[in-house]
């Protein structure tokens, strides 16, 4: 087929016409965006928020908060994520997109060590990278991490539980996250809880190596028994199964620590089915979890602030990009602490807390 054949010429003409039309349409968009950024006075700072997925309520809250806050800092925010937990390639692509876009910084909840190389590439290209929620491994892969002090969160639970027991014996079930892998959020919350109770934790980075019986020193102090360390995978069904195993070992459990609120709800189901009651403490502070405190299912929960992680991180990047100071780690910690508050409707003496109504105003998710 030669160029001179009528059908080919027609095809070329149509192609040219369509390209022109598409170009004009795109041209309009281009003008919009350039006038938008120049009218603000100083140039908008490009920031990418890259989460693990876009369905976990924790990440949804993060994305939503960041989007709402972007204009305040004159930030041009782009939101991306892996398609699902484990999608390293999705995060790597998002990081590269951000570099190409000329962003000044990245906020990321790193999927795994599989994205470390891409993060390094971004930092080499001059982007300021902040990890949110969990520090990467190794922590110095990023410039800084903005996260909840999970140990402190657990500690608040423990202190409240000890004070609430008022000297009574504590028969404890510990419902952890995993039993087949060790992650920092898991041992920090669990060990923090025991520390708050005033129980010697032996290795502070290891769940389940404490003495099974002894004295706790929190509150008025008293005897304690640890019945079990069971993994609930952070989910309701897992929490229920884990609690059933614990109750089978000792039906007199009166204090249950849970890694998060879905686990707590599952544990409550198991207790109810067994006709037992126990005080449940948890960590997370999602709106559903705070409602569980209000309805009495959970005694107290330590609330974390994903929204704050994203907004403070975004502020920090905007500041660095405009030549300001880099954020510093909270003293005594290797990350920037975004805060935690204990939520309970039965405040205990000596433990600072807020009510569930106050908690509902600042909770995340639905």
Partner 1 sequence: MSDTVESAAAEFARRQHSPLQKVQHQLHGKPWLSPLFLLLVAFVAFFIATPTFLTATSMGILLQQTAVVACLAVGQTLVILTAGIDLSVGAIMVLSMMVMASLAQDGGMPGILALLLGFVLATAAGALNGFLVTRVNLPPFIVTLGTLSIFTAIALLYSGGSSIQAEHLPRILNILGEGFSIGDFRLTWGIVVVVIVYIVIGFVLAQTAWGRYVYAVGDDPESARLSGVPSKRILLGVYTVAGLIYGIAAWVLIGRAGAATPNAVPDANLQSITAVVIGGTSLFGGRGRLIGTAIGALIVQTLQFGLSQMGVDQQWRVLATGVLVIVAVAVDQWIRKVKA
For 4, 65, 108, 112, 123, the CA distances from 44, given in Å and listed in that order, are 50, 18, 20, 30, 20
Q: Which stretch binds partner 1 (CB under 8 A): 84-92, 202-210, 232-240, 346-354?
A: 84-92
- When the beta carbons of 80 and 199 are compared against partner 1, the nearer one is 80
Q: Which stretch binds partner 1 (CB under 8 A): 8-16, 186-194, 265-273, 321-329?
A: 8-16
Q: How far is the C-alpha of 154 from the C-alpha of 259, rounded, in Å?
A: 9
- Check residue 1 for interaction with partner 1 (CB under 8 A): yes
Q: For partner 1, which residue of 79, 130, 175, 283 counts as binding (CB under 8 A)?
A: 79
Q: For partner 1, which residue of 45, 62, 66, 92 counts as binding (CB under 8 A)?
A: 92
Q: How far is the C-alpha of 314 from the C-alpha of 312, rounded, in Å?
A: 5
Q: How far is the C-alpha of 25 from the C-alpha of 247, rounded, in Å?
A: 66
Q: Quote the tokens at residue 298.
A: 């959970």
- Check residue 39 for interaction with partner 1 (CB under 8 A): no
- Check residue 183 for interaction with partner 1 (CB under 8 A): no
Q: Which stretch binds partner 1 (CB under 8 A): 87-95, 264-272, 299-307, 333-341?
A: 87-95
Q: How far is the CB of 274 from partner 1 (least distance, A)?
A: 34
- When the beta carbons of 102 and 296 are compared against partner 1, the nearer one is 102
- Check residue 114 for interaction with partner 1 (CB under 8 A): yes
Q: For partner 1, which residue of 76, 104, 240, 308 counts as binding (CB under 8 A)?
A: 76
Size of the site for partner 1 (CB under 8 A): 48
Q: How far is the CB of 348 from partner 1 (least distance, A)?
A: 41
| Gyration radius of the chain's alpha carbons | 25
Q: For partner 1, which residue of 78, 217, 254, 330 counts as binding (CB under 8 A)?
A: 78
Q: How far is the C-alpha of 278 from the C-alpha of 284, rounded, in Å?
A: 20
- Check residue 355 for interaction with partner 1 (CB under 8 A): no
- Check residue 11 for interaction with partner 1 (CB under 8 A): yes
Q: For partner 1, which residue of 118, 156, 194, 253 counts as binding (CB under 8 A)?
A: 118
Q: How far is the CB of 361 from partner 1 (least distance, A)?
A: 27
- Check residue 138 for interaction with partner 1 (CB under 8 A): no
Q: How far is the C-alpha of 182 from the C-alpha of 287, rounded, in Å?
A: 27
Q: For partner 1, which residue of 56, 64, 74, 88 counts as binding (CB under 8 A)?
A: 88
145 CA to centre of own chain: 12
Q: How far is the C-alpha of 134 from the C-alpha of 335, rounded, in Å?
A: 9
Q: For partner 1, which residue of 61, 99, 265, 283 counts as binding (CB under 8 A)?
A: 99
Q: How far is the CB of 114 from partner 1 (least distance, A)?
A: 4
- When the beta carbons of 117 and 333 are compared against partner 1, the nearer one is 117
- When the beta carbons of 117 and 211 are compared against partner 1, the nearer one is 117
- Check residue 141 for interaction with partner 1 (CB under 8 A): no
For 200, 229, 278, 313, the CA distances from 211, given in Å and listed in that order, are 8, 12, 22, 40
- Check residue 330 for interaction with partner 1 (CB under 8 A): no
Q: Which stretch binds partner 1 (CB under 8 A): 3-11, 170-178, 194-202, 349-357?
A: 3-11
Other C-beta atoms within 10 Å of 274: how many?
14
- 122 close to 108: Cβ distance less than 8 angstroms: no
Task: List interacting residues with partner 1 (CB under 8 A).
Answer: 1, 6-8, 10-11, 14-15, 18-19, 22-23, 25-27, 29-30, 33, 46, 54, 76-81, 83-84, 86-90, 92-94, 96-97, 99-102, 112-114, 116-118
């Amino acid at each position: 087929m030669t160029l001179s054949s009528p059908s080919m010429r027609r095809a070329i003409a149509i192609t040219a016409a369509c390209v022109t039309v598409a170009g004009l349409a795109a041209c309009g968009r281009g003008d919009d965006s350039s006038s938008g950024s120049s009218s603000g006075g100083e140039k908008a700072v490009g920031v990418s928020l890259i989460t693990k997925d876009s369905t976990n309520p924790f990440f949804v809250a993060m994305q939503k908060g960041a989007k709402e806050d972007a204009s305040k800092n004159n930030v041009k925010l782009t939101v991306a994520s892996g398609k699902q937990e484990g999608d390293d390639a999705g995060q790597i692509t998002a990081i590269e997109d951000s570099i190409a876009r000329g962003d000044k910084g990245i906020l990321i909840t790193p999927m795994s060590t599989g994205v470390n190389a891409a993060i390094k590439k971004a930092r080499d290209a001059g982007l300021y990278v902040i990890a949110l929620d969990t520090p990467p491994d190794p922590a110095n892969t990023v410039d800084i991490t903005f996260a909840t002090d999970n140990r402190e969160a657990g500690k608040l639970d423990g202190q409240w539980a000890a004070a609430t027991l008022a000297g009574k014996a504590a028969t404890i079930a510990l419902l952890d996250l995993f039993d087949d892998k060790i992650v920092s959020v898991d041992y920090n919350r669990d060990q923090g809880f025991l520390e708050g109770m005033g129980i010697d934790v032996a290795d502070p980075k290891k769940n389940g190596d404490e003495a099974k019986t002894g004295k706790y020193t929190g509150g008025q102090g008293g005897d304690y028994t640890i019945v079990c360390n069971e993994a609930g995978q952070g989910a309701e069904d897992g929490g229920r199964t884990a609690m059933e195993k614990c109750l089978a070992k000792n039906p007199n459990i009166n204090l249950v620590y849970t890694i998060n609120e879905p686990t707590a709800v599952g544990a409550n189901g198991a207790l109810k089915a067994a006709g037992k009651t126990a005080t449940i403490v948890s960590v997370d502070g999602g709106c559903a979890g705070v409602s569980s405190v209000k309805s009495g299912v959970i005694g107290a929960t330590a609330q974390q602030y994903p929204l704050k992680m994203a907004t403070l991180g975004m502020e920090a990047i905007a500041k660095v990009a405009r030549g300001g100071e880099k954020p510093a780690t909270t003293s005594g910690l290797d990350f920037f602490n975004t805060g935690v508050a204990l939520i309970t409707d039965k405040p205990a003496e000596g433990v600072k807390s807020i009510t569930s109504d106050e908690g509902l105003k600042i909770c995340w998710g639905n």
